[in-house]
Amino acid sequence: MLVDDLTSALSGHPGALGLWLAGSRGRGDHDRYSDVDLWLVVDDVGAFVADWPALCDTVTPTVLREQVGGAPVFTHVTPDWLRFDLSVSPVADVPGRSRVGLVPLLDRAGLHTQLAGPLPPPDVDADRAVAVTKEFLRVVGLLPMVLFRGDRVLAASGATLVRRLLNDLMDLSVPAVDPGGATRRYAALSAGHRAVLETLPAIEATGESVLAVHRACGAAFVPLARELCGDRFPEELHTALVAHLRREGCDVLG
C-alpha cells in the first residue's frame, strides 16, 4: 500500500522520469521488517528536493523525515513505524547503475533499458581501509591514559569503538555493488569473521574487560588491516603504538 501511494504521488511530479523499487524489496529477499527503498530519477534534482517535503505530506504523515548529510537522499518513519527511503538522481547517473535488484515502477523516458547489466564486485576500498586502520590504532593508543585516569566508563566506550571499527574493516573485506543494510552486510561476512565477532569478550566497565576486548579486537584487526591496506598499511604508526603500549604495561597488540 505504501509503495503504491508513493508511486502515485511521485508519478504526479512533473520532473519525475523514472522510479524503481530498490533494496531488499527490489531484490526479493525482504522480510516483514524490511524498509521500502525507492530510487527516483528526475530532470532537476534541486527542484525536486525542494518540493519533496510538501509532496511527502500528501502521501503519509511522518514522525521522522531527514535529508541524509545534504545528499538528495531522504529517510522517513511513519506513525505506524513504516520506514522508507528515497534516493534522487539525475539522468546522467542511470548508465552507471545496474538494473539488478531494481523493479521499475515508473519509466517515462525509457531509462530502464539504459541501466547497466550485472556489475562485477568493486575492488576493496583501500582509502577507507587505511582510514579505518589509522583510527583503530589511534583509539587503541588512548587506552593507557584512560586506564591511568580510572575512567572505566570511558574505557568501556573505547572498547565499544574498537569493536565497531573491527566490524567496519570486516565489512570492507567483502565489497559489493549493493551492500544493503547492516544485517545483509553481516550475512555477507565470512564464517570466520562472523565467529570472531560473535565470540568477542563482553564489554563491561572494568579494566579486565576493556583489556580483553582490546586484545581480541587487535588480534583480529591487525592481520586483516595488513591484507586490505597492502603496502599502505601505516607501519610507523603501528610500530610506535606497540612500543607505547609495552612501555605502559598495556600490551594489547602483542
Domain ranges of the chain: 2-114, 126-247
Burial class (CB in 10 A: 0-12, 13-18, 19+), 231: exposed
pTM beyond cutoff 0.85? no
Q: What pLDDT is attached to residue 70?
A: 87
89: which strand partners?
41
Place 180 in a pLDDT band, splitting at 50, 70 and 90: low
> Contact at 8 Å (CB) between 18 and 106?
yes
DSSP H helices, the chain, are: 2-11, 23-27, 45-59, 126-140, 143-148, 152-172, 182-188, 191-198, 207-229, 235-247
What CATH architecture is 2-114? 2-Layer Sandwich (3.30)
Distances (CA, A) of 101 to 44, 165, 193, 220: 25, 29, 26, 33
Note the pLDDT tens digit of each residue in 43-70.
999 999 999 999 999 999 999 999 999 8
